[in-house]
Structure 1
Amino acid sequence: MRLSPFFEDLKSAYDAELDDLMTDSAGHDVLAKRLRLKRKQVPDLLVMIESNPEMVAVAFHGGIRFSRPEVMSDLVAQDPEDLPGWAILLDSLHLEPWAAELTEMVLKAPNGEQFLVVTACLEYLHGRSSASPEAGERRQSDDLDGDGDDNDFDTDVDLEEAGADWLAEQGFDRKDRSSGDN
């Protein structure tokens, strides 16, 4: 799977933010408790959705399920200005009830719609990387080779194609992947 530079950088920051929330100084797992607190703080954190989206996006951790991973796979290759609107993405995912409530709050904020699309992409990437230890090992070895590109997975190519088809159906221009212009 190819990531845009935007999502490549943001994914690292998002994963680090979740890692920071995971344990307390004694090493106890406190993620659930800290996520509940973060969700309560969302109204106060909305000012950060442009400057540090990863710090707010973690509030949605575990609240988004993906029914059309091929769409998400294509979106994470996009630059932020090329992302579709939130309403277009809704048929590709399911929100837990508490996440749907947070979504309504975020949609009222300036740039809330784009933030939610970015958040869904970050959750997708995090779930994908944590779901498969083999994929994580493969990415690490690829990164050691210096290219950091996962285009050698046939399923990722299929997912990208399906995602590109879906975006084209929604009225977005299809990007030419063969030329490297994404």
Structure 2
Amino acid sequence: MRTSRYFEELKSAYDAELDDLMTDSAGHDILASRLQAKRSQVRQLLPMIECNPEMVAVAFHGGFSFANPAMMSDLATREPEDLPAWQTLLSAVSLEPWAADLARVVLKDANGARFLVVTACLEFLRGASTGSSTEGARQQPPGDREGDDEDDADLDIDLEEAGADWLSEQGFDRKDRFSGDN
């Protein structure tokens, strides 16, 4: 996936921040407890959202679901001055209830809306690079799914087409395998 220089650098810092939170000095997995601590400190961390957004963004790890992967992929190619408004992005993402509560806190800050756009993109990129579903935190446990690989391929095509339709409605040129504009 192509990313802007801004998101490439920020994603590297974000991944490093998450990696630092994963284990203690003995190698025990303590990510959940450290994320909970970050979430409880969001108000105190707000001054960092402009200079070190990755350090606060980790509080939202696992809190986003992505309904429009094409829009998120487009977002990842943008530089900071070209980012859309948070309200625009709401049609492409949804938040877990706990993350929605954190978002309300963040949105009280003058830079909160922009920070949420950046955070959503970082979470999307993290999921894309780890091979996670584009559905983010709402992945179905193995064995709970019905269907086969053919159903998955149909779903991928449907999501791709829906994303291309949405981007076209927003005024972007339609470039997908359905229109022949590869």
- Fold conserved between structures, TM > 0.5: yes
TM-score, normalised on structure 2?
A: 0.75
The answer as to whether partners of 2:23 and 2:29 remain within 8 angstroms in 1 is yes
The answer as to whether partners of 2:35 and 2:59 remain within 8 angstroms in 1 is yes
Give a deviation string over 1:148-171, Cα, whole Å, max 9, x none. Answer: xxxxxxx9xx96x97676456346
Q: What does residue 71 of structure 1 align with?
A: 71
Q: Number of residue pairs matched?
A: 149
TM-score, normalised on structure 1?
A: 0.75
Moved over 2 A (4+): 161-171
Distance 1:61 1:68 in 2: 18
Equivalent residues in 2 for 1:1-182 (5 A)? 1-131=1-131, 166-167=166-167, 169-170=169-170
Q: Which has the higher contact order (CA 8 A, sep 6+)?
A: 1
Structure with greater helix share of residues: 1
Distance 2:111 2:168 in 1: 23
- 5+ residue gaps, structure 1, are 133-154, 175-182
Residue 108 to residue 167, structure 1, CA distance change in 2 (3 Å): farther
Distance 1:102 1:170 in 2: 29
Distance 1:111 1:163 in 2: 28
Any idea what SS the aligned residue of 1:94 has? strand
- 5+ residue gaps, structure 2, are 133-155, 174-182
Q: What does residue 152 of structure 1 align with?
A: none
The answer as to whether partners of 1:73 and 1:163 remain within 8 angstroms in 2 is no
Distance 2:89 2:50 in 1: 20
Q: What does residue 178 of structure 1 align with?
A: none
Distance 2:36 2:120 in 1: 18
